[in-house]
Chains A and B, each alone.
Chain A
Amino acid sequence: MTPVDLVWLVPALPLAAMLIIFFGTRMVEIAVQPRPAAVPAPTDHGGHGGHGPADAATTPDTEAGHDATDQTAHTTHGAAAAGGGHGEHGGHTPFWPMLSSIIGVSALLLSFALSLLILWQFLDVNGDVFHTKNLIATGKDIHLYNWFTIGSLNYSIDFRVDTLTVVMLLVVTGVSTLVHLYSIGYMAGDPGYSRFYIELALFTVAMLILVLGANFLVLFIGWELVGLSSYLLVGFWFYHNPPPPGSEVPYPPPAQLKAFVTTRLGDFGFLIGILILFTATGTFNFIELNTKTQAMDKGLLTLAMILVFCGAVGKSAQFPLHVWLPDAMAGPTPVSALIHAATMVAAGVYLVARLFPIYEGVAGPQALAVVGYTGAFTALFAATIALTQNDIKGVLAYSTISQLGYMFAGLAVADTNTVGMYHLFTHAFFKALLFLGSGSVIHAIGAQDMRKMGGLARFMPWTAGTILVATLAISGIPPFSGFWSKDPIITTALEKGNYIIYGLTLFTAFLTAFYMFRLFILTFGGQGSFLGLWGGHDQYRGDAHPRESPRVMTFPLVVLALATILIGLAGFAGFNQGFAWFLNHGVNVDFPVAPALDANTFIGVGAGVLGILLAIAVYGYGLRLNVALASSAVTRPIYRLLYRRYFLDELYLWLIRVVVLGLSNLCALFDAYVIDGIVNGSARAVRGLGNITRRSETGILQNYGAAIFGGAMIILILVFVATGAIGR
């Protein structure tokens, strides 16, 4: 029994934690909940005839209990909802919810440890420790059970563990563990504390099933479970009051629906793609598909792969289905971290990486071209929107969309899936860090509008310092991890001669550095401080009393920052080369994952540095370029266009109102006049016919008798004629 045989425990542990919390601690929590001060029961009103004493005592009591809980819920979060975030400084978590979180965190920790063991086993190429030689090259198929069999087709639940899976397992369990830990602080005192941990565990389980699946069937189950749990978590604060009109903060109930429905649109194409592949090859299994698709019609295969990519577009929030991701900010910030780093949007990139042999080797070049151009365009598109947003999580959301675009572009331009996957790997850490850091800020001041921040660095140095690391990483500045994963994408595009993707990604690198430092300076710095970066009281524009978040929240930030720095430093020692070797099943690829220190790299880094310098000049030293651009008659419409996110939400709303509702109304008319007309018409025809024929029912017996004998006569004559007895 080696760790890899126990891989089913990785999703099973969080699942068990979820069930324990659901049926155990949460139930106890509800049972032992101290009843809020009850309204004195009207026992002295003895005059009410029908009311027994017990009746009068219990009924108002329970009702009062519900009212009181609702009210506390509203006072805790209703006020915060208007400002758009979590309540200031949080509250105290009672024992039983705290136990829920401890169960959740420890289950995830065990999962992470098991994933690390599996990684060790994979790295143990010679089988010295685990006696499983060369697992890295073969991977391991684990058959769980046969789901059902129809004819010769066998549908089974299979897991496959190979190097790609191991990377995803580590990312998912690692980030999820830290998010679980962080939520102890962030969600403290929330009335739905245990529910939060249930849904968080479900989210992780879903993603683990997704990455472990050996065939489309299992992957799709995980895929939809991820969608479901993101729906639950985005709408976690569904009882909040709607934000005031004009606010940039999304409202949870519509946001959760938007997230679910928008990704369903992509899933529609995904499902058709899967079914095309299945019809043509007769298998869902990824490994079998690699060989069996070679016999497929090229055009059909390319179409199927593009349709499968549609699913990735929805899940990974690529243009034009990206609109749900910024609205998913309505959920608690740890959820955003999980969605953006590990569990939700990574699924699309993972899908393309998993099917990369087919995309790259078997399908026509158009399939990868669609992936690449969608990614590169989305990268630029989202970056331009991020320039103008004021909501701190909004900027981060668009930066995620942009970085996911990079991943797809990286998958499309390179010969292996290493480049894109490596960016997913590093991005998971620094994006989780950015979100958890922004959550720390929101937790501290109870607002998420950057215009109400500024100078927070002195108040919360740990948060500011760790976010600065992540900001440098996402800007592609060496030696941080982002540099080692982002630069290969840009340089590979150039080496492959794909100048469109090269130009788009290079310009986006400049924009990324600019808007990320804009975010950092607006939040933590301000004019008059060191480079505008490290501000204090003078720069603070809000009216709250910010202070550093508790250790349970800053600890994950520090861990993630260390990961970002260490992965970056390891890059000098050839860590990325090792990653490429690992992901390519222990084969050294000649593709240079480590950026060569040549002119192209300097151009890439230079674009980032330029963006940072511009951001410091504009926001740190008060170069009024942004104000000029936003107010000048020429550029003002462009600013509006970016600020309103290209009016895409409005466009979709218009499309739904006019096209979808119009079509629906047409269908309703068709139903009312044509379908109902046929139904009513047939009824009317039957009635008319009945009106005519019922005249034969005279009620006079003799008429019936005449009819009977007349009929018999006619039949007799006919028989005679037929047999030739008459007219011979």
Chain B
Amino acid sequence: MITLNHFLVLGAVLFVIGLFGALSKRNAVAILMSIEIMLNAVNVTLVAFASAILNHGGKALNGATVDSSRLTGQIFAVFIITVAAAEASVALAMIIAIYRRRNTIDVGEINLMRW
């Protein structure tokens, strides 16, 4: 049976994969993609917790009563998807702007803020 823990492990694995990509990739688009993976890892975790509460009979894991009619986790996930879309559009626009000016999107070379 697939329990909450499976979802959490999946979320953690996805998050770490995204983090590794965001920190190690030189290509700005690839970093953007990695960030998307991290965001979605969080979404998985949120939805998993929300459904776990529903399955638990309206009780939180520590036993506190939760209003099960509120789809807090799911709504949060939808918000994150929306924000992620906006973020992706802004980031891509910036990447294009940087590319036009510097003719590269290698983040190793974009270091104007260096000491």
Contact = CB atoms under 8 A, between A and B. Distances in A.
Interface in B1-51: 19, 22-24, 31
Contacts of B23: 702, 705-706, 709
Nearest to A708: B23
B22 A705 contact: yes
B107 A709 contact: no
Nearest to A697: B115
A695 B114 CA distance: 8
A700 B107 contact: yes
B111 A709 contact: no
A50 interface: no
A624 interface: no
B32 to A, nearest CB: 12
A695 B111 CA distance: 13
| Chain A binding surface SS class | helix
A702 B111 contact: no
A452 B87 CA distance: 107
B22 A697 contact: no
B80 to A, nearest CB: 19
A705 B115 CA distance: 17
B66 to A, nearest CB: 24
B24 A702 contact: yes
B31 to A, nearest CB: 8
Contacts of A699: 110-115
A694 B23 CA distance: 21
A702 B22 contact: yes
> Could you say which interface size class chain A belongs to?
10 to 19
A694 B22 contact: no
A279 interface: no
Nearest to B113: A699
B63 interface: no
Contacts of B112: 699
A144 interface: no
B111 A698 contact: yes
A37 interface: no
A701 interface: yes
Nearest to A700: B111
Interface string A693-728: 011011111100110010000000000000000000
Contact of A697 (B24, B107, B108, B113): B113
Interface in A671-706: 694-695, 697-702, 705-706
Interface in B60-74: none
Contacts of B24: 702
Interface residues of B, number: 13
A716 to B, nearest CB: 13
Contacts of A709: 19, 23
Contacts of A694: 115
B110 to A, nearest CB: 8
A699 to B, nearest CB: 3
Contacts of A702: 22-24, 31, 107
A71 B23 CA distance: 89
A706 B22 CA distance: 9
Contacts of A698: 111, 114-115
A590 B114 CA distance: 99
A702 B114 CA distance: 13
A706 B24 CA distance: 9
A159 B22 CA distance: 88
A698 B19 CA distance: 20
A698 to B, nearest CB: 6
Contacts of A701: 107, 110
B19 A697 contact: no
Interface string A197-233: 0000000000000000000000000000000000000
Nearest to B28: A701
A706 B108 CA distance: 14
Contacts of B22: 702, 705
A697 B22 CA distance: 19
Contacts of B115: 694-695, 697-699
B4 to A, nearest CB: 18
Nearest to B35: A705
The interface centre, meaning the residue of B19, B22, B115 with most chain A CB atoms within 10 A of its CB, is B115
A709 B21 CA distance: 13
A695 B24 CA distance: 20
A706 B23 CA distance: 6
Interface string B72-100: 00000000000000000000000000000
Contacts of B107: 700-702
A702 B22 CA distance: 7
Contacts of B113: 697, 699
Interface in A347-364: none
A703 to B, nearest CB: 9
A512 to B, nearest CB: 86
A694 B113 CA distance: 11
A82 to B, nearest CB: 74
Nearest to A702: B23
A700 B115 CA distance: 11
A697 B31 CA distance: 20
A701 B22 CA distance: 10
A701 B34 CA distance: 14
A328 to B, nearest CB: 69
Contacts of A700: 107-108, 110-111, 114
B56 to A, nearest CB: 23
A709 B31 CA distance: 15
A698 B24 CA distance: 15
A706 B20 CA distance: 9
B20 to A, nearest CB: 10
A487 B24 CA distance: 110
Nearest to B111: A699
A706 B114 CA distance: 16
A705 B114 CA distance: 15
B45 to A, nearest CB: 16
Contacts of A695: 115
B68 to A, nearest CB: 29
A702 B106 CA distance: 12
Interface string A130-148: 0000000000000000000
Nearest to A694: B115
A705 B108 CA distance: 13
A702 B28 CA distance: 11
A689 B112 CA distance: 22
A701 B109 CA distance: 11
A55 to B, nearest CB: 61
Nearest to B31: A702
Nearest to B25: A702
Contacts of A706: 23
22 contacts: A694-B115, A697-B113, A697-B114, A698-B111, A698-B114, A698-B115, A699-B110, A699-B111, A699-B114, A699-B115, A700-B107, A700-B108, A700-B110, A700-B111, A700-B114, A701-B107, A701-B110, A702-B31, A705-B23, A706-B23, A709-B19, A709-B23
The 5 closest A-B pairs by CB, nearest first: A699-B114, A699-B111, A699-B113, A694-B115, A697-B115
Given A697-B113, A700-B110, A700-B114, 18 more contacts: A694-B115, A695-B115, A697-B114, A698-B114, A698-B115, A699-B111, A699-B112, A699-B114, A700-B108, A700-B111, A701-B110, A702-B22, A702-B23, A702-B24, A705-B22, A705-B23, A709-B19, A709-B23
